[in-house]
Structure 1
Amino acid sequence: MQTHTSSGPQRATGRWRGLLATLSLLALGGCASVYRVDNAVESFPRWSDATRSGQPLAAVPQAPQTYRFDRLPSQKQGQAATDQDALERLAQASLGKVGWTLANSGAPAVWTVQVGAATVRLPHAPWESPWDRRWGGFGFAGRDHVVTGSGQVIWTPMFMPMDWPYYQRKVSLLVRHADSGQVVYETHAAHDGRWNSSPELWGAMLDAALQGFPTPPAGARQVNIDLPR
């Protein structure tokens, strides 16, 4: 009995130390790796709806093409305009990868592009309870206790849950024929995850939304883009 009493805590402590060491190695390895931006993408090409001088355009436009950005009234003033400037710069880079170039100021363009983005911040993932077990700053938290890194159990019914934010993000891009105003291409990309907002993340989502442009696969699809950490 004495052997079991003394070795149990030692084995538990050893397991915790081993787990902590493994997590430390994974964290160090992750610093030099990439993170995946997995996107749910759906696109709707309608090039046959475009017209010029009342006549339909017969062919899907091939690069190179020029365009100008178009904005909603709500995107033209204040902070919204500043945010839209940044978003359009990222969209310009993504469109450049498929051979579309922003027209010079005042120059005519066959196409207009409208781009939008939205973020919803949640305190935790939709499938998580705020009391789900998770790692905290000094141990592993349960519904009514905390296990410290040394394996000590602290019973604390009043222990408050820790937020681990979860983000739901979406980008959209509409292409219109400038002459008729007809929408000829619509695409959306959605990404959920814990990564903080960054230009690289939004750029990856826009790249995903334009995957396969101007003739993307039909239906919803997943497009994964890996970014360096």
Structure 2
Amino acid sequence: MRTHPLLRHARLFAAAGALFALGGCASVYLVDNQVQSYARWADQAAKPGTPVTVPQAPQIYRFERLPSQREGRIATGQDELEKLTETAMAKVGWTHAAPGTAAPWVVQVDAGTLRLPRAPWESPYDPFWGGGYWGGFGPGYGYAMPGRDYVVTGRGQIIWMPVYPRIETPYYKREVSLVIRHAATGKVVYETRSAHDGRWNSSSGLWSAMLDAALRDFPAPPEGVRQVNIEVPR
């Protein structure tokens, strides 16, 4: 079947729009994070009843790793993650201790990514997408006929509608968590995590934004889940 001229124009406009979007029309992109933090500074005390002392910057800490974070490719990734964490911690006045230097705090950081073939709201059974227009007897709701340039509505109407093969793009669920322990007692005194869902590819800028979000309001965060948006330069 010959392609309708309007369909050819619609496809050209769609392609041009995609190129414009990819061309960096904005100088930043938004990383929206769901953050939850827990401060338990009183737990650092060796004896119950000791007054709560919230540490004020500057402070010194050292990193601690789980056994699973110490070998192979995971260890390499952990090296990079800890470098980004150093930068984020420095923004709140905490400094990584030099080798051989004692530190009163121990920090453990972890991150993970779940890659999905498509966004959760996208149907795996709809291979086409398009935009219709108003029919003669109301909105032209209907279904696309594969390989055709029109849809058949629930009322039996046939209306023109450009139909495009859908190209699936991956969707990512990411989380970063940070735990601070009191070195002398080994007790957890601060825990925070940041979660972000979206299509952005993994990058240092994205992970840095998630770490900055996780440390927002440190060392005295509000209770409950909160949204923290960070703008990242493209």
Tell me the TM-score range normalised by the shorter chain.
0.7 to 0.9
TM-score normalised to the size of structure 2? Answer: 0.78
How far 1:216 moved relative to its partner? 1.1
Residue 153 (structure 2) aligns with: none
- Tell me, what secondary structure is at the counterpart of 2:85? helix
TM-score normalised to the size of structure 1? Answer: 0.79
Matches within 5 A, 1:33-182: 33-51=27-45, 56=50, 58-132=52-126, 133=128, 144-145=146-147, 162-182=167-187
Cα distance in 1 for partners of 2:213, 2:92 equals: 12
Q: Which has the higher helix share?
A: 1
| Contact 1:130-1:163 within 8 A present in 2 as well | no
Q: Residues 21-44 of structure 1: CA distance to partner in whole angstroms, max 9, x if unpaired? A: 44444443x345211110000000
Q: 1:134 to 1:177 in 2, by over 3 A?
A: farther
| Contact 1:130-1:162 within 8 A present in 2 as well | no
Q: Give the alignment partner of residue 194 of structure 2, picking from 182, 189, 196.
A: 189
How far 1:107 moved relative to its partner? 1.1
Matched AA of 2:200: W
Size of the alignment, in residue pairs? Answer: 208
Q: Give the alignment partner of residue 199 of structure 1, picking from 194, 199, 204.
A: 204
How far 1:218 moved relative to its partner? 1.4
Q: 1:143 to 1:80 in 2, by over 3 A?
A: farther
Cα distance in 1 for partners of 2:173, 2:220 equals: 27
| Contact 2:7-2:162 within 8 A present in 1 as well | no
Matched AA of 1:211: R
Q: 1:61 to 1:124 in 2, by over 3 A?
A: same
Cα distance in 2 for partners of 1:40, 1:81 equals: 27
Cα distance in 2 for partners of 1:146, 1:185 equals: 59
Cα distance in 2 for partners of 1:152, 1:180 equals: 68
Cα distance in 1 for partners of 2:53, 2:116 equals: 44
- Tell me, what secondary structure is at the counterpart of 2:73? helix
Q: 1:13 to 1:73 in 2, by over 3 A?
A: closer
Q: 1:146 to 1:197 in 2, by over 3 A?
A: farther
| Contact 2:10-2:162 within 8 A present in 1 as well | no
Residue 228 (1) aligns with residue 228 (2): no
Cα distance in 2 for partners of 1:213, 1:143 equals: 55
| Contact 1:36-1:226 within 8 A present in 2 as well | yes
| Contact 2:129-2:163 within 8 A present in 1 as well | no
Q: Identical aligned pairs, as a percentage? A: 52
How far 1:105 moved relative to its partner? 1.0
- Tell me, what secondary structure is at the counterpart of 1:211? coil
- Tell me, what secondary structure is at the counterpart of 1:81? helix
- Tell me, what secondary structure is at the counterpart of 2:122? coil
How far 1:126 moved relative to its partner? 1.1
Gaps (5+ residues) in structure 2? 131-143, 150-159
Q: Give the alignment partner of residue 215 of structure 2, picking from 199, 210, 215.
A: 210
RMSD: 2.9
